[in-house]
A and B are shown apart, each in its own frame.
Chain A
Amino acid sequence: MHELGLARSIAGIAEENAKGRALKEVRVAIGPLACVERGALEFCWDLVTESTGIAGVELGFLDAEGDTFVVRELEFMEEA
């Protein structure tokens, strides 16, 4: 179940780059050869972000080529 470790890495990258701003969604790009199962990653995402600074932030998926596996975009909450 390496998706758990991957979810932790994604959460780390998101928190580091958000620099304290409220995130709405983290979007990862996954290629068909990346060896990553979206359902498992989604499941792990909720586990690893629970009771952290990014709890409730959505994990979104974007299609990509080859073995791409990157955090492609961070979407922030609209500021009031």
Chain B
Amino acid sequence: MCGTCGCADPANEVSMTNPETGVKTILNAALGHGENQSHDHEHDHHHEGDDKPHMHGPKGEIIPLEAAILGKNDKIAAQNRGWFEGRDVTALNIVSSPGSGKTTLLETTIKMLKGEIDLTVIEGDQMTANDADRIREAGAKAIQINTGAGCHLEADMVASAAKAIDPKPGSLLMIENVGNLVCPAMFDLGEKMKVAVISTTEGEDKPTKYPHMFRAVEMVIINKMDLAAHVDFDEAACRANIAEVNPNAEIYCVSAKTGDGMEAWCARLRELAIKP
């Protein structure tokens, strides 16, 4: 095993656990180097600190770069942020697993804020324009981005969609990301904040299963509270799990379907919207 390329790193291990027997099987052989297979690199890995100063001349030279790999996305996201601020638009990046009720939450929100705050929606899905149609029927302007095989929205997609939808000053721009609790955590879209939606039917432990995402958000909405009793949802346990990975997250318990708890969420949105 090699300690430098990550194949020996337990944090990067892909494993299968049988909950009945407790037996854990390592599955990362296909992508990594396999178990018990020592592999010699033909080159030395250089670690921070152990080879400074560099003893290389013009031959075999090493140049330091510090180039951000997501730099291109981050740059466009920063442009988006300026674009939103310049137009007094508050953009929220809404993330969740598929089926937690993001679109229903937006439909109810649009109806409750109608006549008060203008709301526009960028819908991200791999395929179909179903969600954008639903938003339009609820009474707001919407644009659908289909990412095809892509698992998340990127800043350049939002830049194009935002220009096309042309949100009004003082409005809220809701960016409904592709249903996925993994990749969207990495990609800044230029939003003011990320909001995670989880639903009671998903269980209480989503935040601890997907800590990267729940660490990246500022608000968590627990949706489908009307079903909580039917699925033995433990709200206190869910709140504790959120607090474990993100103690500062604001939490709203709602039922987008019945409207319960939606007033507190809408009141928060009224605060976030910029008064023109």
Contacts and interface: CB of A to CB of B under 8 A. Distances in A.
Interface string A55-68: 00010111110000
A34 B60 CA distance: 29
Given A27-B46, A33-B212, A73-B65, A39 B31 contact: yes
Interface in A20-75: 24-25, 27-30, 32-40, 42-43, 58, 60-64, 69-75
A72 B62 CA distance: 10
Contacts, number: 113
Given A28-B69, A38-B5, A70-B66, A79 B46 contact: no
Given A9-B69, A60-B45, A70-B68, A17 B63 contact: yes
Q: How large is the interface on B (under 10, 10 to 19, 20 to 34, 35 or more residues)?
A: 35 or more
Interface of B is mostly: loop
26 contacts: A2-B151, A9-B70, A13-B71, A24-B60, A25-B43, A28-B69, A32-B11, A33-B215, A35-B186, A35-B212, A38-B9, A38-B12, A39-B32, A42-B5, A60-B4, A61-B45, A62-B48, A70-B65, A70-B67, A72-B64, A72-B66, A73-B62, A73-B65, A75-B62, A76-B63, A79-B60
